[in-house]
Homo-oligomer: A and B are copies of this chain.
Amino acid sequence: MGRKRTKSGKIRLAEVAELAGVSPITASRFFRNPEALSVAKRTRVESAAKELGYVPNLAARALASQRTEVIGVLIPSLTNNVFSDVLRGIYDASEGSRYSIQLSNTRYSILQEEKLLRLFLAQKPAGLIVTGIDQTAESRAMLEAADCPIVQIMEIGPNPVDMMIGFSHYDAARAAVAHLFAQGHRRIGFVGARMDPRVQRRLDGYVSAMKDAGLFEQRHVVTTATPTSVTLGGALFTDLLAREPDLDAVFCANDDLALGVLFECRRREIGVPEQIAIVGFNDLEFMASAVPTLTSVRTNRYEMGKTAAAMLIEAIEGRRPEQPVLDLGFKVIERQSSSSRQSDNRPALSAGAAPNKMVALPSSHD
C-alpha cells in the first residue's frame, strides 16, 4: 500500500503534483515562481492545490532552501505606545507577503539586544529590523556580516548598517525649543525619563538650542532612568519647580510626561499656558484632546514601521530601494499649551475643534 498522506494527515506537495499530473518539482515551482511554468500546468497545479487544500510545510521549505521567510524585529519595549504604532505598521506591511514577523523585546538593553541578535541570525532570517543606531560593537559586527537586508528604525544617523528610516531626535528637540522661543519663552525646563539613546538626543538638542541662545541652565534639566509614565511626569515637574520656581515653559521628552506635567499644573493651580507653557513629544492622540490642548512634536511612527517593513521586503526580493536612508521628519504641532496668542487660550468647545497650527520641518542631519 503506497502512502498517500503523511502521518499527520497533511497533504504534501507530492499529492498535489500527482493530482495535477506533474512532477513534484514543477508543483514546487508553482508556489515560488509561477511565471516559470507554462500556463496549462500552472492552472492544473493551482486547481489541484486548491482542491486538496494544500498548505506548504514551511519547515521543510526552510530546511531544503537553507533560508527562512522570517523577518526578525528587535524593539526595546512592548509597553511604550510609540512602539506599538511602529509595530502595527510593520505587521500591516508584512501582511499579504510571504514573510512572517518574529518579534523580540530588548528591554532597552544593548546586551540583551546582542544576545537576541545572535539568536536571530542563527536562524538565517530573510531580513532584520532593529531599533536605533546604538548597538554594541559585537552586534554591529554581526549585523554587518549578516547576509540579509537590515533596516534600522526610529532615528537616522551616520554609517547605516544597511537601510535606515527615522528622523533626527536632536533636530526635533531643537525645533520644539525654537517654537517656545518664538512664543517668547526663555526659562525653559526639560523633563525626561528612561533616557534611552533617543531621549538622550532630544536632551542634547534641547541643550544645544538653549546654549545657542545663551539660556542654558543645568538646573533646568530633570531626568531619570525610570521608565516613563504620566505620574512620573508630575513627580519630575515637582522636582523641577523646587529647583526653579520661575520657569515659563517645560519641554517634555514624551507625551506621557507632558500629560503628567499638565495634571500637576492643574493640581497646583498653575495656569497653562499663562504661567507655564508645555510641549510634549510624539503627538499621541490625547494631546489634541487635553484641556488645554497640548503642543507636541509629531513623529510618523506608523508610517515608519510600515515603510521599514516594505523597504525590507523589497530588498529581500532583490529590489533595493534607491533611497536606503529615509528621513521621515517631524512636525511641531502648535496647540494651546504653548500658544502666546490669548485668543487660542480659551478652551475650545469641542475637542476636535481646537485649531492646530503646524510647523513642518524635515529634519536635516549632517
Q: A260-B351, A285-B229, A351-B267 are in contact. Are A88 and B84 (CB under 8 A)?
A: no
Could you say which of A12-20, A38-46, A61-69, A188-196 contacts chain B?
A61-69
Q: Which DSSP category, helix, strand, loop or mixed, fits chain A's interface?
A: helix
Docked complex Cα distance between A363 and B266 (Å) = 36
Q: Is the pair B100, A347 in contact by a Cβ cutoff of 8 Å?
A: no
- Interface membership of A323, Cβ < 8 A: no
- Interface membership of A59, Cβ < 8 A: yes
- Interface membership of A81, Cβ < 8 A: yes
Residue of B nearest to A228 (CB): B285
Q: Is the pair B350, A58 in contact by a Cβ cutoff of 8 Å?
A: no
Which B residues lie within 8 Å of A104 (CB)? 91
Q: Is the pair A259, B286 in contact by a Cβ cutoff of 8 Å?
A: yes
Could you say which of A23-31, A200-208, A287-295 contacts chain B?
A287-295
- Interface membership of A183, Cβ < 8 A: no
Q: A101-B103, A289-B231 are in contact. Are A59 and B68 (CB under 8 A)?
A: yes
Which B residues lie within 8 Å of A8 (CB)? 66, 124
Docked complex Cα distance between A290 and B229 (Å) = 12
Q: Is the pair B102, A235 in contact by a Cβ cutoff of 8 Å?
A: no
- Interface membership of A108, Cβ < 8 A: no
Which B residues lie within 8 Å of A100 (CB)? 102
* A-B pairs with lowest CB-CB distance, top 7: A59-B62, A55-B122, A230-B286, A231-B289, A234-B351, A266-B291, A59-B63
- Interface membership of A283, Cβ < 8 A: no
Instruction: Report the minimal beta-carbon distance from A5 to chain B, rounded to whole angstroms.
Output: 13
- Interface membership of A238, Cβ < 8 A: yes
Instruction: Report the minimal beta-carbon distance from A100 to chain B, rounded to whole angstroms.
Output: 7
Docked complex Cα distance between A105 and B93 (Å) = 12
Q: On chain A, which size bracket covers the interface?
A: 35 or more
Which B residues lie within 8 Å of A7 (CB)? 66
Q: A102-B100, A234-B350, A351-B235 are in contact. Are A289 and B260 (CB under 8 A)?
A: yes
Q: Mark each residue of chain A from 104 to 128: 1 if its CB lies under 8 Å from any CB of chain B, else 0.
A: 1100000000000001001110000
Residue of B nearest to A8 (CB): B66
CB pairs A–B below 8 angstroms (13 shown)? A57-B63, A59-B123, A78-B87, A88-B105, A103-B103, A230-B286, A231-B288, A233-B289, A238-B350, A260-B289, A260-B351, A263-B351, A267-B351
Residue of B nearest to A305 (CB): B78
| CB proximity to B under 8 Å, residues A47-63 | 55, 57-60, 62-63
- Interface membership of A1, Cβ < 8 A: no
- Interface membership of A310, Cβ < 8 A: no
Residue of B nearest to A267 (CB): B347
Residue of B nearest to A56 (CB): B122
- Interface membership of A256, Cβ < 8 A: yes
Which B residues lie within 8 Å of A102 (CB)? 100, 102
Q: Is the pair B88, A351 in contact by a Cβ cutoff of 8 Å?
A: no
Instruction: Report the minimal beta-carbon distance from A105 to chain B, rounded to whole angstroms.
Output: 6
Residue of B nearest to A263 (CB): B291
- Interface membership of A245, Cβ < 8 A: no
- Interface membership of A274, Cβ < 8 A: no
- Interface membership of A33, Cβ < 8 A: no
Q: A63-B63, A123-B58 are in contact. Are A347 and B230 (CB under 8 A)?
A: no
